[in-house]
């Protein structure tokens, strides 16, 4: 009986250590992707200050970096993780997060806004607004970053 308890303990400890190793490897890869994207953004966009770095995984994965360039202008840079074009826009060239939320609230009357983030599809910068709709579904609403025009929407059950 003691032998089985010892074996079970060893297996559980090994599983925990293996899980921690996988988790750390995954986080390390994510951080390396962010570091590489920030370096690219600094080089291509002339960033001198980083405000935020976010991840977007649409048709292709992108790092979305918001920062201030050498001319003291706030810009957003969409850096592809693999293949794709790096896209740079001034913050003032698009609608704000608050404006994007107002458009969705006016057009869709969501019960609750869950998350708002920048993304990109087919080299078109966009806002992705995630919300709970009137039928209690998670809904993803995509609008053009520059003018707020509707691009697509889909819903899934909770």
Q: How far is CA 94 from CA 124, 125, 126, in A?
A: 12, 9, 9
Give pLDDT, residue 32. Answer: 65
Domain parsing of the chain, residue ranges: 2-92, 97-157
pLDDT, tens digit (0-9, with 9 covering 90-100), for 81-116: 988 899 999 999 999 999 999 999 999 999 999 999
Give pLDDT, residue 15. Answer: 66
Nearest residue to 139 via CA among 118, 117, 108: 108
The reply to whether domains 2-92 and 97-157 share a CATH topology is yes
Indicate the CATH number of 2-92 among 3.10.450.40, 3.40.50.2030, 1.10.230.10, 3.40.228.10.
3.10.450.40
What angle is formed at CA 39 by the lines to CA 115 and CA 59, rounded to 5 degrees?
A: 45
Give pLDDT, residue 21. Answer: 57
**More confidently predicted of 132 and 2:** 132
pLDDT, tens digit (0-9, with 9 covering 90-100), for 5-64: 777 777 777 667 666 656 665 555 556 677 888 898 889 989 999 999 999 998 899 999
Beta bridge partners of 67: 50, 75
DSSP secondary structure string, 4-71?
HHHHHHHHHHHHHHHHHHHHHHHHHHHHHHHHHHHHHHHHHH-EEEEEEEEEEESSSEEEEEEEEETT
User: CA-to-CA distance for 132 and 158, rounded, in angstroms?
Assistant: 9
Q: pLDDT at residue 72 above 60?
A: yes
Tell me the Ramachandran region of residue 134: left when phi exceeds 0, alpha when psi lies from -120 to 50, beta otherwise.
Answer: alpha
The CATH code of the domain at 97-157 is 3.10.450.40
Nearest residue to 36 via CA among 89, 85, 80, 97: 80
């Amino acid at each position: 009986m003691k032998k089985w308890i010892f074996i079970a303990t060893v297996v559980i400890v090994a599983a925990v250590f293996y899980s921690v190793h996988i988790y750390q490897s995954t986080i390390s890869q994510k951080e390396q992707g962010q570091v590489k994207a920030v370096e690219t953004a600094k080089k291509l966009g002339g960033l001198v200050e980083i405000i935020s770095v976010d991840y977007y995984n649409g048709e292709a994965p992108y790092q979305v970096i918001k920062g201030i360039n050498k001319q003291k202008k706030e810009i957003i840079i969409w850096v592809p993780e693999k293949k794709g074009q790096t896209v740079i826009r001034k913050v003032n060239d698009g609608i704000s997060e608050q404006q994007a939320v107002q458009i969705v609230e006016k057009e869709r009357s969501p019960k609750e806004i869950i998350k708002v983030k920048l993304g990109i599809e087919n080299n078109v910068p966009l806002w992705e607004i995630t919300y709970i709709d009137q039928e209690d579904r998670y809904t993803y609403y995509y609008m053009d970053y520059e003018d707020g025009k509707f691009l697509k929407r889909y819903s899934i059950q909770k």
